[in-house]
Amino acid sequence: MLVADLASKSFFFKWLGYHERFSVFEPLLYFTTVTNQGVAWGIFPWAHRLLLLLIPLLLAGIFIHAWRARKADTFQLICLGAIFGGAAGNYYDRLVHGAVRDFIDVKFGALYDFPIFNLADAAISISVALMLLRQFLVRQRPPVS
């Protein structure tokens, strides 16, 4: 996930430059290059420095959790790996570029303009949603003694 995220950001920002838009499937999908200092979807832009301190702790927590679950649950490991890779990719952006680089721009005509995001954001969001969905929908069997 980390490699795919950084490679895609590098490609789109070299191809389009900063603050440019390319129509992929109008009026639904565009590539629009922007930067974001905030958390998800640009909220809390003042938290940039705090995130530089907190994200390594989050990454360490994800790694420890994945290490403990490594033999028990492949699905959870895949999701944790995607979350870790996505968070690491966005952290790299914060360190190197001073902000997270986003480029996927989804619009629903004039009805709704979804915040611009990147592959890391998608991996984190989808993985968290899948883990939560699984937690609520799949009945866990007790471990065999």
Catalytic residue set: 102, 121
Determine contact, residues 127/80, Cβ cutoff 8 Å: yes
- List all residues 6 or more positions away from 98 whose beta carbon is below 8 Å from its beta carbon: 35, 37, 48
Distance CA 85, CA 77 (A): 12
Q: Which two tokens stand for residue 45?
A: 């832009």
Q: Which two tokens stand for residue 99?
A: 């902000």
SS3 state at 54: helix
| ω into 27 cis (within 30 of 0) | yes
SS3 state at 21: strand
Distance CA 80, CA 86 (A): 10
